[in-house]
Amino acid sequence: MKVMFAVGEIGLAHERIDRGGKFGGLDTPEFLALNPNGLVPVIEDDGFVLWESNAILRHLARKHPAARLMPDAPHPAADVDRWMEWQSESLAEPCFTIFYQRHRAPPDKRDESKVGPAVAQCARLFAMLGDRLGRHPFICGDHLTLADVCVGVMAYRWFEMAIDRPSQPTVEAWYDRLKQRDAFRRHVMVGLS
C-alpha cells in the first residue's frame, strides 16, 4: 500500500500484480526467486528487482526527484527517514494488533484484551505526531514526503477502524488533507481487508 501510494503520487506508469493475502502466490518458485522472504511488496524496475517497502520508496523517490518525496539535504532527509522508521518500528505493531483483533482474525480467534492497550499505545504515538503536525501541514514541512506516505497508510486504519479514538485535531486535519489526494483515495482508501 505504501509503495502504491508513492507510485500514484509520482504518476508512474506501472503494471501491478497482486500477490499475498487472498491472492496467494507468495510461495511459488517464481515469486521466491524475486523475493526469497516470500513477502510483498516487490518491484521490478528495468530488470532491477527490489524488496523491502522502505527501500523501494527511497529508490522511487531518488529516481523521480520532481515528486519531492525525499529532500536532498542531509538534515531534512534524516527527518523524513526518522518518521519512516517510526512508522515501521513503533506505530505498525500496535496498529496491526487492533486491525487483526477487530477486523482480520476469525471471530473465534479474537482476543479483545489486546485491543485496549494497543489503542492506548497508538493514541500516545499519534499525539506525538499531532505535536509535529501543529507546526506544518505535512509531517516534514509544507508538502507531502515519504514520511506522510508511510504514516498515512497507518492513519487510514487508525481513523477507519471500529475503535474509540481520542480527539487529535492536528492529526485529523492532516488526515483530511491526505483524503483530498487522488493517490491516497485510489491506493490507500480501499477498505479494511
Ligand X SMILES: N[C@@H](CCC(=O)N[C@@H](CS)C(=O)NCC(=O)O)C(=O)O
Binding residues with ligand X: total (CB under 6 A): 8
Q: Could you give the C-alpha distances from 80 to 49, 61, 98, 127, 188, in angstroms and in order? A: 24, 12, 26, 18, 20
How big is the chain, counted in residues?
193
Nearest to 174 by CA among 189, 160, 161, 156: 156
- Rounded to a whole number of angstroms, the minimum distance from the CB of residue 136 to ligand X is 26
Among 50, 53, 95, 126, binds ligand X (CB under 6 A): 53
Beta carbons of 4 and 16 less than 8 angstroms apart:
yes
Choices 39-47, 72-80, 122-130, 136-144; region in contact with ligand X by CB under 6 A:
39-47
Choices 19-27, 70-78, 138-146, 174-182; region in contact with ligand X by CB under 6 A:
19-27
> What is the C-alpha separation between 164 and 160, in angstroms, rounded?
11
Closer by beta carbon to ligand X, 160 or else 172: 160
Closer by beta carbon to ligand X, 53 or else 170: 53
Nearest to 155 by CA among 56, 86, 52, 77: 86
> What is the C-alpha separation between 189 and 50, in angstroms, rounded?
25
If one asks whether residue 40 binds ligand X (CB under 6 A), the answer comes out as yes
Closer by beta carbon to ligand X, 40 or else 67: 40
Choices 18-26, 72-80, 109-117, 178-186; region in contact with ligand X by CB under 6 A:
18-26
Q: And the C-alpha cell for 28?
A: 511459488
If one asks whether residue 149 binds ligand X (CB under 6 A), the answer comes out as no
- Rounded to a whole number of angstroms, the minimum distance from the CB of residue 15 to ligand X is 19
Q: What residues from 115 to 134 belong to the interface with ligand X (CB under 6 A)?
A: none
> What is the C-alpha separation between 174 and 120, in angstroms, rounded?
20
> What is the C-alpha separation between 68 and 118, in angstroms, rounded?
33
Binding site for ligand X (CB under 6 A): 20-21, 26, 39-41, 52-53
